[in-house]
Structures are given as structure tokens and as C-alpha cells.
Structure 1
Amino acid sequence: MSKYKVILFDLDGTLTDPKVGITKSVQYALGKMGISVTTLDQLDSFIGPPLKDSFSELYHFNSEEVEQAIQLYRERFVEHGMYENEVYESIPELLHSLKGQGKSLVIATSKPTVFAEKILQYFKLDSYFDLIVGSNLDGTRSAKTDIIQYILDVKKDCTLEDFIMIGDRKHDIIGANNTGIDSIGVTYGYGSHSELMDSEPTYIVHTVKEIGELLLERCEITSANQHQKF
């Protein structure tokens, strides 16, 4: 059985495919600010990182413009966007199996906690998780490093070796590396294979099934300082 006792999951691009809801809400916000985006694929980069970083880095908004864009984004996201979402195939089965083996499951997302809770409730996944940790609505605790550290502080009875972070973007892997825990980069989400490899995850997998093969197998897994594909 896998050595990991506490499994941290990113939400967007790892458990669910939120593309339509996020990109349409970004498109709405940009349109209100006079920027026309006709192709939603142009906005895939917004899936995963904190919104404030994406608006700042991709559109060079100043701090006031970033706050305005986030508020406009939330106008649409709260009403429609959070439900324009799909659970990846086999995720409920994976969560059920992990829970059945006594794993503690935790959400670690840059999305505001209140939105993450509503999405998980809507898709009936909330019962699998012992803890749901995201950012605050005021934008604080949005960095994945801060989110993971908060979880580690809550679960003080566990050692760093008990934890593993699963996510599809470099921010998930960097957060895990910064806090000293192992990580799994998943390539079926919105981060490229090169983005994930450059951030140096402990493991790389390509499907939900491979997450299960890694975390639920009976034999002990050791990384031997190299990335392993399952």
C-alpha cells in the first residue's frame, strides 16, 4: 500500500474540467473592460493560477484593474461559471477507493474556499474530503505554497512524508516543493508536460487510472531521485 496518508488534490484541471465556466467568465470580465476575446482557447492559461496573477501577467493590468477584473469575473462565475464544469471520468471511483483505504483527502486550490465548497457540493464530491482549503475572497492565501503550508499546520500530527500533492499546473508542484512534500503532476489537465517537468514533480502521470495505480498499489514506491511514470 502507498505510504501516503494525506492526499492533497488541486480542483480545477485535476478533479474537474472547468474550462467553459472559467474562460467564459474571464471573457465576460475582459469584455466589460473593453477587451474583446472571441476564442475561449486563448484563455486556457487562466485555469489553475490565481486570477490576480493571470490578469496581471497576461494583460498587464495594474492593481486597481486586477481588482476590477476579478469582481467582474465573479459576477458571472457565481451565477453560471462554477456550474459550467465537468468531473473527470473515474474521479469519483478514485476518491471512493482512497477513502476506503483510510486516506485523508484534502482540497488544495487557489480558487476561493467558498466557491470550491459549492462546486464540490454540486457534484456530490464534498463528502470525500476531510478539509477544503482555498484562497480568501480578499485575495489572500492564494499562492499554492501558502495553501499547502496551511494544511500542514492543521495536520500537525503527520510528518512531511505522509503528504502528497496532486495537480496539473506548475504552481501545484512548486508549492509542494517549497513545503517539502512529494507531488504528482497530471498531464490530462491544463499544464503542459514540459511545464510540469520543469517544476520537478516527484511523479508524472497521464490518466486518473494512473493516479490510482500509484496511490493504491500494494508495493512500496520509492522515487530514487527520478521522475516515475505510472
Structure 2
Amino acid sequence: MTQTTVPVIFDLDGTLVDPAGGITGGIAAALTELGLPVPDSSRMDAMVGPKLGHALTQIAGVPAALLGDVIRIYRGHYASTGIAQSRLYPGIRGLLEDFVAAGRPLAVATQKPEGLARTVLEHHGIAGFFHSIRGSAADESATGPGTAPVPEGSVPEGKASIVAAALTDLAAAVPSMAGRAMMVGDRAQDVAGAAANGLDCVGVGWGFALEGELHEAGAVEVVHDAAALYATITRLSERPETTALNGVHADGNV
């Protein structure tokens, strides 16, 4: 296996899949049903990517006593209509097909519940491209079933442990590439989760990040279409081998 087949771990919503209102519409429906205020569109978009429970309490101001009800109603709405509204971003299917054909191992690490993430990927016919699909537990806790421990000194919560689980799966599937991978995501928590595991993160500009968010978080580069993402991953894969591709993000800080 050559350096050009360095594994890639992808975020899901905002990176591979455009929720196209399926997430924000479901949240709005749940809040409305319970008589809670619906945030403006910019704050609703900011809720795509982070752990749902955190986003609902910190951004939408949902009281703790109603959090479970909001999530339950939202999940029902998302399963019945939201998944069907989603679509792959332009060029993503071709990019994944090209990587698989070239023998590049792929994984998904998302804060969406793991089972639901697999359902979304299966809906779009791309689940089979990935050696690993990792996400949160069904009860919205930060880590999914069988999640590996986060490396010592790294961020202990959120995306870090999910990325760590995907890395463990990749190392088992492709032992020769253990410790070698990069992350692709659209939000600051993707960059942080990658850094916590000693990985670089390439940011994508078509997702839900605020202006400057990805650069400020420490993304190694930010790209704006699938062709640029393919070229950037290919170029970064050819750099000399280190634990982190640029050799600087090993302490989990961004």
C-alpha cells in the first residue's frame, strides 16, 4: 500500500450529505409541537453538526425537562420525511467511487446516532464504501457502541471519541496504515476531533460553518468543491509519513 492510499475519515451532515432542511425542519416541527420558540435560520443552521442534545439546549434554549420529548418528536419527523429530503453534495459519489477504486480506506465519524447514520448512507447507496461508520449512541451520548478510548491528553468528549473509534476500525482493517489518516469536515468540532487524535482536518466550504470558523479552528486547508477536495487529499497523502500528517496536531489543541 502506498502513501497515496492514506485513509480518510468523513463527517456526514454538511460534508457528504446535504440535509436540505431535513434536520432543521424536523427540529422546528418538534419545537413548534411543544410550544417552544423556533430560532432564526442562522441559529438553526448552527445546530447541524454538533451533538443534538447540546445544540437544542445551548442554541435553541430547550429546557432540560423537555429535551427528551423534543428529540423523540424530531427523530420521528426525520425518519418519516427528513432522510428523503437529504441529498449528496455535488461530486461526492464520484469522489468516493474514485477513492475506493484506488484502494483508499474510508470511514465516517458523525455525531448523528450511529444506526441512523448508517440508514442515511444506505439511503444514498454509499454505505458500502466505508470500512467504518461511527457515531453517537442512540440515547444521544457522545460515543457510540464499542467506541475506543480517546488518546491521553486529547479532548475527552464530543467528536474526539467518535473519530478515535473510526481510527481503531481502520487500523484493524488496514494494519499497515495504523496511525495514518486525515479528517474531512464542515464544522469546528470536526477539526477538534481530528486534532485530538493527531490528525489533520481538511475543511469543506459547502457545509454549515460560519465565516472563518474552519480556518480559526485549525483546518489545514478549506476547499469549495469535490474536485478540489480530491486534489487536496491526494496531495496531502503524498507528504512524508508522520503520526499526524503535518506532525503538529498531536496534543489535541486547536
State the TM-score, normalizing by the size of structure 1: 0.88
RMSD: 2.3
| CA apart distance, 1:42 | 4.7
Greater relative contact order (CA < 8 Å, ≥ 6 in sequence): 1
Map of 2:103 onto structure 1: 102
Name which of 159, 169, 173 aligns with 1:144.
Answer: 159
Residue segments in structure 1 that go unaligned for 5+ positions in a row:
none
Q: Give yes or no for contact 2:5–2:105 (8 Å, CA) kept in 1.
A: no
1:77-111: CA deviation from partner (whole Å, max 9, x where unpaired): 11111221111111111001111111111011111
Matched, 1:214 2:232: yes
Name which of 176, 189, 204 aligns with 1:171.
Answer: 189
| CA apart distance, 1:50 | 1.0
1:26 partner SS: helix
Partners of 2:104 and 2:169 in 1: CA distance: 16
Partners of 2:28 and 2:236 in 1: CA distance: 46
Count residues in correspondence: 225
Q: Give yes or no for contact 2:132–2:170 (8 Å, CA) kept in 1.
A: no
Q: Give yes or no for contact 2:39–2:60 (8 Å, CA) kept in 1.
A: no
The residue identity in structure 2 corresponding to 1:52 is: G
Partners of 1:102 and 1:2 in 2: CA distance: 11
Q: Give yes or no for contact 1:19–1:44 (8 Å, CA) kept in 2.
A: no
State the TM-score, normalizing by the size of structure 2: 0.81
Identity rate of aligned residues, in percent?
27
1:161-212: CA deviation from partner (whole Å, max 9, x where unpaired): x111100000100101111111111111111241111110122212111111
Q: Give yes or no for contact 1:2–1:217 (8 Å, CA) kept in 2.
A: no
Partners of 2:51 and 2:237 in 1: CA distance: 37
Matched, 1:201 2:219: yes
2:117 partner SS: helix
Partners of 2:115 and 2:71 in 1: CA distance: 15
1:4-40: CA deviation from partner (whole Å, max 9, x where unpaired): 5211011101011103100110001110221243965
Residue segments in structure 2 that go unaligned for 5+ positions in a row:
144-157, 249-254
